[in-house]
Structure 1
């Protein structure tokens, strides 16, 4: 992993905490193994940052990504939809349900924005920047630009989906993105972790550990 010990955090850095919600943690509808283990790591990281943004999956009932919305289809299979291939998931992060709430152990009182995504019934949204049609913006890029925020440190759930796509789309939008690898966990569908690592590398997105001196002021 690259050595970032000579780097320092600056006031234009942001910690982007992806989808730390009950349904993605053990016991949830779409649990990521060890998902709750990153909560204390993220809390510690957040104290190092002046600016923190959280994202929250926020699906309506009958969302296109739910296997239950496609008769006869099973979770973790794929279907063709208007914008391409869609992985089908168990119903999760339904608006207003306990599963959609942020993990109760998350303690980031100075977070400046909670960005909700995936609320359009007919389109999924992995990325914090773009819906899965890769053209409908969430508004995050404009928010960051207007505030002069330039470098994003990503953590949360899950490494091989929402963290991956947020980092890639953030880079395409002109932000420097860094993934804090030990502050994420992966869904681990067949090949998904390797594909993610390759995608980050091909987009020149750095991966670091939270224990690096990068996070020491």
Structure 2
């Protein structure tokens, strides 16, 4: 089953958000344009409590039940079959969608007989990277849709380095037009 994973396309990671990836909202129309190409659509959300050790590294973002934690307003969420909440505890970072606490993603994907996972979202250099690497490690044919991801880029080339790291790990880099 060909599956699209939408990683953390949330208000706090888009323009105006407290931890905005440059051009984060630009992934929204790309993702919206490809959803019909997939058998299954899943998404992850950063879902942090108000107090977490994660905020020692990052400004408070995607706090549970806030506007910043909501999916970007223009993202078509009607076709999302399952949402995975991550970073929900006070001690976990929750970078990978596979670290979800509400639903075991490994079990869910197995039950759905997923074989191919296409990864999109924010941030290329953190949550997309971690999710894609975990996907490869779990044995899925993993594609990263390069025009549907954006990086935080703490350092200017972090996004490019993350794409190379994913490719080196076995991910297939692809653009939305080639799906």
State if a TM-score over 0.5 links the two structures: yes
Structure 1: 5+ residue stretches without partners: 1-11, 68-87
- Look up the match of 1:173: 138
Are the equivalent residues in 1 in contact too, given 2:124–2:149 (CA < 8 A)?
Answer: yes
Distance (Å, rounded) in 1 between the aligned partners of 2:105 and 2:85: 10
- Look up the match of 1:53: 42
Deviating above 4 A after TM superposition, structure 1's stretches of 4 or more consecutive aligned residues are none
Structure 2: 5+ residue stretches without partners: none
Displacement of 1:48 after TM fit?
A: 1.6
- Look up the match of 1:20: 9
Distance (Å, rounded) in 1 between the aligned partners of 2:113 and 2:142: 15
- Look up the match of 1:95: 64
Distance (Å, rounded) in 1 between the aligned partners of 2:73 and 2:127: 20
Q: Counting helix residues as a fraction of each chain, which structure ranks higher?
A: 2
Aligned pair partner of 1:142 in 96, 107, 127: 107
Distance (Å, rounded) in 2 between the aligned partners of 1:209 and 1:64: 35
Q: Structure 2 length normalisation: TM-score?
A: 0.94
Task: Mark the structure with the bigger radius of gyration.
Answer: 1
Q: Structure 1 length normalisation: TM-score?
A: 0.78
Q: Does residue 93 of structure 2 align to residue 104 of structure 1? A: no
Distance (Å, rounded) in 2 between the aligned partners of 1:89 and 1:200: 23
**How many residue pairs are counted as aligned between the two chains?**
178
What CA RMSD, in Å, does the superposition of the two structures yield over aligned residues?
Answer: 1.7
